[in-house]
Structure formats: structure tokens, C-alpha cells
Amino acid sequence: MLRNQNGISVYTVLSVILFVALVFILAIPNFYNLDKNKNVDDCLNNMKTIWVGTTDYMRDQKADFNGDLSVLRRTKKASDPKVTYLQTDAYCPETAREKENYIVYGKYIADKTGTEIKTNVGVIVYCPNLGSFSKHFVPKNFYENMDPAPLQNMMAEDLDVIDQETKSNGKRKAEMIQQYINIWKTMPNAYDLRKADANSLRAMLFPDKYKPAEPEAAL
């Protein structure tokens, strides 16, 4: 058996080198974030957790949410004062070291039916890296499984339209979502418009594709 001057066999040296190389190869995906499917799943889970925390917070506070996640991290739950609405910091795994927060907006509406007031909330969460990673987008079926309020259903349907229209163009997807959020922020009658006509807000985003319903002629 071949040995060097210290008595170590060449085969032992080769085995050590191969072992180190194997460990390095297995570590590369984690070190360089090359496991894209895992990154997508982790990012989606982060956004879903934020959505739940924001929705619970808004139901208790009965007010819009401006997107400051630190509020969720420091505010105790009304139902359980031992825990906060958001218990950990979460960042997109693609750029986790930069610690860029997710973009969040929540709309609160008090639906009045006679003397009864029902809490109606809708929350939008999207990834700060959506422009580069178009799959970092919460799908419609997530909301459907969460017993959403009517407003959330409207938002989920419109977000799904945005997803279908922009497809893999992450930059355009992010732009359209932000425009959609701005509609809810700046138009006091957005809910009434959307409630009356499903295409009302979509037409503002994609005027060449969607048309609002024609107003009924006065009798």
C-alpha cells in the first residue's frame, strides 16, 4: 500500500478529500440559497403566518393595518395575553441577511346589517423580492381554506386575477399589487364599487382587459 513519509496511506488521504468534497457539495444549496423550491415554500409560510397574525390583530383592533410588523411583534393578543400576534421575525430566504420586511396592508370595514355590525377585514401580504421571484405569491386556495371575510374573498379573487394576468413577470406582478393596495388606501368607496361589480377594480388595473358594468339607466 502506498504511504507517504508520515505513514499515511494515499487511499486514506483520498478518502478524506472525497469526504470533505461531499460535505461541501451537500452544503452548497444551503450556503448559496440554491434550493429554490424550499425558498418558495419558506417564503409562502412566512407570508401565511403574517397574514394570520395581521388578520387576528385587525379583528381585535377594528381598524386598518398600515404594514408596521413591529406592532404585531410587540402587541399581546386579546384572546391570550401571554403571546403576541407575531412571535418571530421572518424574512424572505432569498435575501434574509438584508432583513427586508414583507409588504402588508389590511383594510377594515364595519358591515352594518340593521343594528348588527359585522367585522369585515381583508389583508394583503406580498414578498419584497416578488419582482425577482414571481412564485413568491400567496395562492388563492390559501384564503379559501381560512374562512375569510367577504372583503378578503374579494381581495383574494382580484389578486388571483393579477397573478393570472402577470404570470411569471414578477416585477409587473408587484407593481399591480401595489397599485391595487393604493386603490383601497385612497378610494373611500372601493368596497361599495367592488361589492356591486367584480370588474370595477380590475378595470383600473387592466383597462384593456376588464370593463366595469354599465350603470343601469334611470327609469
pLDDT digits (tens, 9 = 90+) for 166-208: 999 999 999 999 999 999 999 999 999 999 999 999 999 999 9
Distance of alpha carbon 125 from alpha carbon 105, whole angstroms: 7
For position 128, what pLDDT does the model report? 98
Question: In this structure, is residue 25 part of a structural domain?
Answer: no
Question: In this structure, is residue 21 part of a structural domain?
Answer: no
Residues of the chain above pLDDT 70, percent? 80
CA distance to 61, 146, 181, 199, per residue, from 77 (Å): 10, 19, 26, 36
Question: In this structure, is residue 218 part of a structural domain?
Answer: no
Encode pLDDT of 120-170 as tens digits: 999 999 999 999 999 999 999 999 989 899 999 999 999 999 999 999 999
More confident residue, 216 or 109: 109
More confident residue, 9 or 116: 116
Does residue 219 surpass a pLDDT of 50? no
Positions of E strands within 27-153: 103-113, 116-126
Does residue 25 surpass a pLDDT of 80? no
Question: In this structure, is residue 152 part of a structural domain?
Answer: yes
Q: Which residues neighbour 22 within 8 Å (Cβ) at sequence distance 6 or greater?
A: none
Encode pLDDT of 98-122 as tens digits: 999 999 999 999 887 767 778 899 9
For position 27, what pLDDT does the model report? 54
Question: In this structure, is residue 15 part of a structural domain?
Answer: no
| 152: containing domain | 34-205
Question: In this structure, is residue 119 part of a structural domain?
Answer: yes
More confident residue, 35 or 155: 155
Specify the pTM: 0.81
Helix 150-166 / helix 170-186 crossing angle, nearest 10 deg: 150
Q: Which residues neighbour 203 within 8 Å (Cβ) at sequence distance 6 or greater?
A: 210, 211, 212
For position 218, what pLDDT does the model report? 44
On the CB side of 181, how many CA atoms lie within 13 Å of its CA? 18
Question: In this structure, is residue 24 part of a structural domain?
Answer: no
For position 72, what pLDDT does the model report? 97
Q: Which residues neighbour 197 within 8 Å (Cβ) at sequence distance 6 or greater?
A: 212, 213
For the residues 81-101, what does the mean pLDDT come to?
Answer: 94
For position 217, what pLDDT does the model report? 46
Question: In this structure, is residue 23 part of a structural domain?
Answer: no
Domain count, the chain: 1
Cα angle value 146/148/151 (rounded, 5°): 155
